[in-house]
A and B are shown apart, each in its own frame.
Chain A
């Protein structure tokens, strides 16, 4: 009998306590972010709209190696290679179909020159599907993105655009393989 009364009391008080606790939530702060008026903070590494960055000198970083296109799991990147008079590669056209893109970031990981980068912008809604296809001019930005001060050709060991082998940063002179001297 005593047990039953205890059970009844504890059950009743637990229900009443629950109701009271729920009511006290009236005075708590609401967790909702009222999105269009109030933008949520997105960290810089957020995987949103894809951009093509430039190096600190203002030249485009992309060398049209096609690694992003190859790594893309949904095949939404299409690059056409071009070559200028100094022997440097550049993309003649660079096209991303954002209606296919899944924002996985593999292209960013694959890129050897940090040219392609994902940004914390996601507001890309369009009424016309064709408008989701971004051309090179839509993708290219004027800044360096997340990699300030990096220029692929200053550290790469190939001869291009007036820079010869062995002239890059931290690079030793080329070894003369025709001689026995050290």
Chain B
């Protein structure tokens, strides 16, 4: 029988509270991204977007949530029911789990894993199952084409996504995200690792299937792609899961390339938030301005251009690290 001291209980409680705050914060931020995205898209398309509900339309998401909660949660009779129900849960689960290892400030991390980068890559790869399950279980040709595109997209970007991070890991000498942030105290990784930053950002776009790499959804050609058959809160979970992905990739770019919480004057959390928010807005700007490639073009671009650049980047970084140590 183990004895629990008061300190143990307090530390467990502290972690529990941290976890709760980060979970709620991440989901809230993802939900807030919806009105922010609609307003920003409106701004860049010379219109207003939703501006009626609440101040500057910020309560639009609450109205949408109420609506989506009361919608009929319909499962098509031809669908594979168990898989159909599980699919939207997976994307939420993997996205939220990935938040566990992100260091928001030196003290605010749920799990200070020494293989944080690997854990992140694993979680983001698992998220793909959600899309493939959804497309397969829907028994719908559009959903299936969307899922097939996701599979094609996954094999083309996962490889160089991992490779692009190796340079950062080499420079920090650690897989721990907190150590990676600390290693950027002198110079943010975005300068020595600029190619890796570009590659990771492109791979991140493909990872969370945002425009210009939203091939699995592709409203214009696949109705809604893999979630065509989904309705009600299951659709809502895919939707929020996608925005969680944006928040996650923005946090990752901040941590890996832009020095996380590091910054003058303001407290660390504010710096982290500002940097991450900048990238969230940049994702929206990308959606407003870029066109969608065909998926063979995406694969060719990944294999023939980004992968070689990533490998060369790792080789050069490794050579420099070996030479200077």
Binding site for B on A (CB under 8 A): 8, 15, 18-19, 21-23, 25-26, 28-32, 34
Contact = CB atoms under 8 A, between A and B. Distances in A.
A15 B290 contact: yes
20 contacts: A15-B290, A18-B290, A19-B289, A21-B289, A22-B288, A22-B289, A23-B44, A23-B285, A23-B289, A25-B44, A25-B45, A25-B46, A26-B44, A28-B46, A29-B46, A30-B42, A30-B43, A30-B46, A31-B46, A34-B48
B286 interface: yes
Interface string B46-63: 111000000000000000
Contacts of A28: 46
A32 B289 contact: no
B44 A30 contact: no
Interface residues of B, number: 13
B312 interface: no
A19 B288 CA distance: 8
B286 A19 contact: yes
B43 A25 contact: yes
7 nearest interchain CB pairs?
A: A22-B289, A32-B47, A19-B289, A25-B44, A18-B289, A32-B48, A31-B46
B43 to A, nearest CB: 6
Interface in B286-309: 286, 288-290, 305
A25 B323 CA distance: 47
Contact of A31 (B44, B47, B288): B47
B46 A8 contact: no
Interface of B: 42-48, 285-286, 288-290, 305
Contacts of B285: 19, 22-23
Nearest to A19: B289
B47 A26 contact: no
A15 B288 CA distance: 12
B56 to A, nearest CB: 13
Contacts of A25: 43-46
A19 B283 CA distance: 11
Contacts of A22: 44, 285, 288-289
